[in-house]
Amino acid sequence: MSANVDVNHRPDPDQVLVDIADYVCNHPITSQAALDTARYCLMDTLGCGLLALRFPECTKHLGPIVPGTVVPFGARVPGTQLCLDPVKAAWDIGAIIRWLDYNDTWLAAEWGHPSDNLGGILATADWLSRTRVAEGKAPLTMSDVLTAMVKAHEIQGVLALENSFNRVGLDHVVLVKVASTAVVTHMLGGSRDQVIDAVSQAWVDGQSLRTYRHAPNAGSRKSWAAGDATSRAVRLALITMSGEMGYPGALTAPKWGFYDVLFKGNQFALHQGYASYVMENVLFKISYPAEFHAQTAVECAMKLHEQVKGRLDEIDRIELTTHESAIRIISKVGALNNPADRDHCLQYMVAVPLIFGRLIAEDYEDAVAADPRIDGLRGKMVVQEDKRYSREYLEADKRSIANAIQVFFKDGTHTAKVEVEYPVGHRRRREEGIPLLVEKFHHNLATRFPAKRSEAILALCQDGKQLAATPVHAFMDLLVI
């Protein structure tokens, strides 16, 4: 046969696509631990979105693409009066969730924030529920939302376990797009074959670069990139449900598939099946709105605050001991140009609590960043890797996110080396963390709603059976201001 032609034999769907579709369509979620954690995740994620509504740089993005657009049975955006089509509602919900870098985290070969998928899940479920009620049909319930959350977490997290997209320059929101596409297509009534087709569309879609997350280009796109991804997933699901075809060799096609074009010719390593592992082990950002690799460093700095706050001018150097991923992502020197730059700077996130004894979202804004003591301390920091930290970060039975800080003074004295290996949001600290998570949610509700409404929402969310049975549109109506 001539070498000048391609053999046009359409392949069977890639196994990765098949496995995702089989899981989404056929795997029941029976783990009560996963469903309970999903409920807490829902609370935490919504709270993060409500808190972000205090920031104009976030809210400027919200609302219909064309002002004045009216959408019958549209999806609501929590904490607002907006009623939008499900694609733009997914964008808006996803953007507010991620804006402050305060929602959950998954750390493995690839990093990410699986609750980013809630944008597409919640917008689609709300729109479907309102539409069904208008047609005299039964609405979706919050049980459907919680199940979809567990499955989206699992898809994103399992794909991330052994596959580093960041090492080929791709942003982790590709996994949000894939996971959201799968669960939303199924939510829309898609068959196994339609889920395969839709997920293939997600893989062949253009993927985001990590440019906006790293020096010298770190910027606010990192705060809406996940909203964009989960919104795109809803659009791809709707396109597929209109009867659009899929691409069975989206990953494996020689020369033109994802592996050859974007993954350096390597196939995904997938040695763990899909169940509910990721939701059960997800990491919550409970105490600080900080990139997760710095969470324990902030804890260390908070413990040292009382010892150093009166001796800032006497500090000779500050030794930060951390793990490889933190060094690669958030260790930086030089001018920090915006809040997005600052909340991805390890040294900044350590300096603020050393000085002020706190780290809140407002501390990344220009008014606080102008304090010369912050850059003064940044300039005295020495960052070093502990190989054990890096190793145990990836070990399945540990998944630590360890940091340590020691402060040395000009007179030769020094503090003890303060070490924290597991942040309060880690599964190993669940018993300690969940009451704090509920307190965080209560606080965030109070930034948007009157006291009685806040109490009603909190009570519903804490009652697992009642929440699960609540129609999605009724739940969303509680979140309208």
Domain containing residue 321: CATH number: 3.30.1330.120
52 and 152 belong to one structural domain: yes
Looking at the structure, tell me whether residues 145 and 276 fall in a common domain: yes
Q: Do 209 and 350 fall into the same domain?
A: no
Share of the chain above pLDDT 90, in %: 96
The pLDDT assigned to 3 comes to: 74
**Quick one: CA dihedral 45, 451, 438, 40, positive or negative?**
negative
Q: CB-side exposure of 120: number of CA atoms within 13 Å?
A: 35
- 299 and 337 fall within a common domain: yes
93: which 2 tokens? Answer: 């919900």
Provide mean pLDDT across the span 291-306: 97
DSSP strand E in 115-222: where? none
Mean pLDDT of 388-394: 95
Cα Rg of the chain, angstroms: 23
Does residue 396 belong to any structural domain of this protein? yes
- Of the two residues 7 and 196, the one the predictor is more confident about is 196
In a domain, 118, yes or no: yes
Count of domains in the chain?
Answer: 2
Residues 141 and 253 in one domain: yes
Classify residue 100: in a domain, yes or no: yes
Same domain, 278 and 169: yes
CATH number for 131: 1.10.4100.10
The model's pLDDT over 180-232, given as tens digits with 9 standing for 90+, comes to: 999 999 999 999 999 999 999 999 999 999 999 998 999 999 999 999 999 99
pLDDT value of residue 130:
98
Q: 239 in a domain, yes or no?
A: yes
Does position 1 have pLDDT exceeding 80, yes or no?
no
Q: Is residue 82 part of a domain?
A: yes
Question: What are the backbone dihedrals phi and psi of residue 408, each rounded to the nearest 5 degrees, phi first?
Answer: -115, 135
Say if 442 falls within a structural domain. Answer: no
Which of 253, 284, 315 finishes a domain?
Answer: 284
Q: What per-residue confidence (pLDDT) applies to 2?
A: 61
Is the Cα dihedral 153, 159, 162, 164 positive or negative?
negative
Query: How far is C-alpha 454 from the geometric centre of its chain's CA atoms?
Result: 24
Q: What is the pLDDT of residue 196?
A: 98
Token representation of residue 424: 């309060």
Q: Report pLDDT digits (tens) over 318-358.
A: 999 999 999 999 999 999 999 999 999 999 999 999 999 99
Tell me: do 411 and 278 sit in the same domain: no
Let me know whether 73 and 219 are in one domain: yes
The mean pLDDT value for 287-307 works out to 96
Residue 100: what pLDDT? Answer: 94
Does 273 share its domain with 397? Answer: no
Instruction: For residue 57, give its domain range.
Output: 15-284
Same domain for 57 and 179, yes or no, is: yes
Q: How many CB atoms lie within 10 A of CB 396?
A: 10
- State which of 230, 256, 284 marks the end of a domain: 284
Amino acid identity at 386: D
Top pLDDT among 269 and 9 is at: 269
pLDDT score, position 336: 97
Strand extents, DSSP E, 167-270: none
- For residues 400 and 251, membership in a common domain is answered with no
pLDDT in tens, 242-285: 999 999 999 999 999 999 999 999 999 999 999 999 999 999 99
The pLDDT mean for the chain works out to 97
The rounded distance, in Å, linking the Cα atoms of 192 and 423 is 39
Residue (of 326, 253, 248, 327) closest to 291 by Cα position: 326
Whether residue 157 is found in the same domain as residue 269: yes
Model pTM score:
0.91
pLDDT recorded at residue 321? 98
Mean pLDDT of 119-147: 98
Q: Are 434 and 333 in contact (CB under 8 A)?
A: no
One-letter amino acid at 1 equals M
> Among the three residues 399, 423, 447, which one is the final residue of a domain in this structure?
423
170-193, pLDDT tens digit by residue?
999 999 999 999 999 999 999 999
